[in-house]
Amino acid sequence: KTILIEEFTGHKCSNCPNGSRIIENIIETYCDHVVILACHPFNQDFTSPNDSGPLATDFRTSETTEIAEDFGFWGFPSALLNRINTGKFFQPFELNTEIHNLLFDESNSPIPPDLDIKISFSSSSSPIGINIEIEKLNELNGEYKLAVVVSEDFIISGQYDGNELIEDYEHNHVYRSAINGTWGEPINLIEKNIVKHYDLVNFNEINDISNCTIVAYVYNSETEEIIQAAKKKIDLFEQL
């Protein structure tokens, strides 16, 4: 089972690096069982870029703004965890226990996933072809949607950390754009296997495509809770 953490953060938020460090420790603990998206919504002082200087990078996206507004965003740093509890925003220090409860049952045995999501690529030049294969492992009730997102690592730009402005801070897991819309698209889980194909054509907001990752997740349309997530780094050499 793989869960999604949507980390809401800002480069002018002095407490956000501590939140990010907690989440990086979570990655070390749970490895491939967690996927991170660092979200920078509009309409927030902590995310607005300066006209020039180390804080001039604009990380904001309309998609993360929609998500923040839909779930009642209240402040930085905070995070959605599989959008459980009708999209409750957690403080970073609250995440560990919640993650454990999502991944393990009362006897501490791993909870098996309801779906398997595989991501692959079918071309090495623009547009990059993205293939999403979904295999249903358990019977599911309700209606579900698939969302596909591109994120980027290793963006060097300014960040307040406590009282210090770090001019060459490394920003990772940055939500760049939604490939099939903020809320994704309906999928028919009556079928056991589903295959979707997308083209990644708009690189305008991306610094370096080789530092990007495709993230896919499936969620219940009514509860909005995510039931499975997956990620795969774009490796241009692997596709040649």
pTM, full prediction: 0.94
Sheet with strand 128-136: strands edge to edge? 115-121, 128-136, 193-200
Query: How many helices (H) and strands (E) would you count in the chain?
Result: 4, 14
| Mean pLDDT along residues 167-193 | 96
Q: What's residue 205's pLDDT? A: 75
For residue range 120-145, what is the model confidence (pLDDT) as tens digits?
998 756 788 999 999 999 999 999 99
Phi, psi of 133 (to 5 degrees): -110, 125
| Mean pLDDT along residues 89-96 | 94
For residue range 7-44, what is the model confidence (pLDDT) as tens digits?
999 999 999 999 999 999 999 999 999 999 999 999 99
Average model confidence (pLDDT) across the chain: 94
Q: What's residue 136's pLDDT? A: 96
pLDDT at 237 over 60: no
Signed CA dihedral, 40, 44, 47, 49: sign only: positive
Kindly indicate the confidence band of residue 64, based on its pLDDT and cuts at 50, 70 and 90. Answer: very high
